[in-house]
């Protein structure tokens, strides 16, 4: 029971944090919306390659190596 309560508290904390971040960066919604619209229009077979090609112009030089670490 206590573990469930901690999970729910953490869940609410994360939702609030994510909502705050999205409010501070409205460009995220526009970027994701544009990407999804383009994806659904094109319906590529290889979604990962499509996403890479779509987002590569946003990279400053090279695509960064994936990192699962949080800041």
pLDDT digits (tens, 9 = 90+) for 7-55: 788 899 999 999 999 999 999 999 999 999 999 999 999 999 999 999 9
Q: How many Cα atoms within 13 Å fall on the side-chain side of residue 24? A: 6
Q: pTM, whole model, 2 decimals? A: 0.62
DSSP assignment string, 38-51: HHHHH--S-HHHHH
Give the whole-angstrom CA distance, residue 61 versus residue 47.
22
Give the whole-angstrom CA distance, residue 58 versus residue 71.
20
pLDDT over threshold 80, residue 65: no
| Predicted pLDDT at 1 | 63
| Predicted pLDDT at 8 | 86
Give the whole-angstrom CA distance, residue 20 versus residue 14.
10
């Amino acid at each position: 029971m206590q573990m469930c309560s901690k999970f729910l508290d953490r869940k609410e904390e994360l939702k609030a944090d994510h909502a705050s971040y999205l409010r501070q960066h409205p460009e995220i919604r526009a970027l994701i919306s544009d990407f999804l619209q383009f994806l659904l229009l094109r319906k590529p077979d290889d979604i990962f390659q499509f996403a890479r090609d779509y987002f590569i112009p946003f990279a400053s030089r090279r695509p960064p190596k994936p990192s699962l670490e949080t800041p």
